[in-house]
């Protein structure tokens, strides 16, 4: 019997990044006939197990043994992969016929798989195309029907979905989602000032005077500012938000799913979290605030 080809993925960074890596790898596995294995890091970038968030990722997968999982998730980390790229390529080549990291995807560095690549490892926070390990632009990623289809197949923890249902019922009317990230992403902070959000919100209110909004943010000061400026229009949740523990991740997932139920979105184009909400909810009406788009 022919040995089945294996694709091992170590999804890196935050939840939005990990979802897009999983989606890309699942599409590769489906197309090329790979058995999918997932080594899910629990660290300061996302302090929870995969099963804490997802009931299903929309595709059958296995997990490495405990010792292998521990090694993979502690060795294959974004900073180390970027700093010691050459060493990781050499080390991975001893065990895998193809290794794919962020730099490979960014630089088209012979990342396309071949028919004889029987064991592939992907350790990345980036999305790639569904027919080869090559970069995919953000616009193409969001428009790609396979990505939209697969993101809708992620099944979240029923306990979290119940809390989302409860919060959703409190708003009571169709709303526009707003995602403002402020504490830890320098590029988003730089390119999405509050004034850009305010202009988008004011324009929507001018056309729809009774419009409600749901605001998801990692900064309590931002929440307080917008609720004061648009009194009675801005809905939020009070769950803990943090990457480092399960309770905090639960709060972030609740906000993500509430955003995904919005009729429209105001957000930064370069936020993987916002883009995950757009894909989960198949949101078509999106207003980007990034200054580089002006």
The residues, any chain, with a CB within 8 Å of residue 137's CB and separated by 6 or more, are none
* pLDDT surpassing 70 at residue 2: no
| Mean pLDDT of the chain, nearest integer | 88
Is residue 116 included in any domain, yes or no? yes
| pLDDT, tens digit (0-9, with 9 covering 90-100), for 192-209 | 889 999 999 999 999 999
127 pLDDT band (50/70/90 cuts)? Answer: confident
- Identify whether residues 29 and 143 lie together within a single domain: yes
- Identify whether residues 19 and 110 lie together within a single domain: yes
Please state the separation of Cα 115 from the chain's center in Å: 29
CA distance 286 to 289: 10
Take residue 23 and report the two structure tokens written for it: 């989606």
Helix H or strand E encompassing 43 = none
* pLDDT surpassing 90 at residue 256: yes
Asked if residues 151 and 23 have their Cβ atoms less than 8 Å apart, the reply is yes
* pLDDT surpassing 70 at residue 133: no
Residue 200 to residues 56, 110, 206, 213, 268, Cα–Cα distance (Å): 36, 42, 10, 12, 12
Is residue 122 included in any domain, yes or no? yes
- Choose the final residue of a domain: 151, 167, 188: 151
pLDDT for res 136? 46
> Residue 203 sits in which domain range?
158-293
- Identify whether residues 15 and 143 lie together within a single domain: yes
- Choose the final residue of a domain: 113, 131, 151: 151
Asked if residues 268 and 192 have their Cβ atoms less than 8 Å apart, the reply is yes
* pLDDT surpassing 60 at residue 151: yes
Is 124 strand, coil or helix? strand
Query: Tokens 């043994």 identify what position?
Result: 65
* pLDDT surpassing 90 at residue 128: no
Query: Region 209-232: what's the mean pLDDT?
Result: 94
pLDDT for res 4? 81
* pLDDT surpassing 60 at residue 141: no
- Identify whether residues 130 and 47 lie together within a single domain: yes
Count how many Cα atoms sit within 13 Å of the Cα of residue 221 in the half-sphere of its side chain.
4
For the domain that residue 267 is a member of, what is the CATH number?
3.40.50.11350
- Identify whether residues 21 and 111 lie together within a single domain: yes
- Choose the final residue of a domain: 120, 151, 182: 151
Asked if residues 253 and 53 have their Cβ atoms less than 8 Å apart, the reply is yes
116 pLDDT band (50/70/90 cuts)? Answer: low
CA distance 136 to 128: 5
The residues, any chain, with a CB within 8 Å of residue 269's CB and separated by 6 or more, are 138, 275, 288, 290, 293
Asked if residues 185 and 267 have their Cβ atoms less than 8 Å apart, the reply is no
For the domain that residue 67 is a member of, what is the CATH number?
3.40.50
* pLDDT surpassing 60 at residue 130: no
Please state the separation of Cα 269 from the chain's center in Å: 13
- Identify whether residues 133 and 171 lie together within a single domain: no
Residue 224: count other Cβ atoms within 10 Å of its Cβ. 12
- Identify whether residues 171 and 50 lie together within a single domain: no
Domain count within the chain: 2
- Identify whether residues 95 and 210 lie together within a single domain: no
Query: Tokens 């429209």 identify what position?
Result: 264
Is residue 1 included in any domain, yes or no? no
């Amino acid at each position: 019997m022919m040995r089945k080809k294996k694709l091992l993925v170590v999804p890196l960074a935050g939840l939005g990044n990990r979802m897009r890596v999983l989606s890309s790898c699942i599409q590769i596995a489906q197309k090329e006939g790979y058995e999918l294995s997932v080594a899910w890091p629990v660290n300061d970038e996302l302090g929870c197990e995969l099963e804490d968030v997802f009931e299903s990722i929309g595709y059958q997968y296995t997990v490495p043994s405990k010792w292998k999982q521990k090694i993979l998730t502690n060795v294959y980390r974004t900073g180390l992969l970027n700093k010691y790229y050459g060493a990781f390529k050499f080390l991975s080549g001893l065990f895998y016929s193809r290794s794919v990291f962020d730099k490979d995807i960014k630089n088209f560095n012979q990342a396309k798989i071949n028919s004889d690549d029987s064991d592939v490892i992907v350790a990345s926070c980036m999305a790639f195309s569904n027919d080869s390990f090559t970069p995919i632009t953000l616009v193409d990623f969001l428009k790609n029907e396979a990505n939209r289809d697969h993101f809708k197949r992620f099944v979240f923890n029923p306990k979290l979905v119940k809390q989302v249902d409860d919060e959703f019922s409190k708003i009571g009317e169709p709303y526009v989602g707003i995602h403002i990230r402020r504490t830890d992403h320098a590029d988003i902070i730089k390119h999405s000032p509050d004034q850009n959000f305010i202009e988008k919100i004011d324009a929507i209110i001018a056309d729809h005077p009774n419009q409600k909004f749901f605001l998801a943010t990692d900064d309590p000061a931002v929440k307080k500012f917008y609720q004061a400026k648009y009194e009675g229009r801005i809905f939020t949740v009070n769950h803990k938000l943090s990457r480092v523990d399960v309770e905090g991740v639960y709060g972030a997932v609740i906000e993500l799913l509430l955003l995904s139920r919005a009729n429209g979105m105001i957000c930064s184009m370069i936020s993987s979290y916002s883009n995950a909400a757009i894909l989960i909810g198949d949101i078509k009406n999106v207003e980007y605030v990034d200054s580089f788009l002006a």
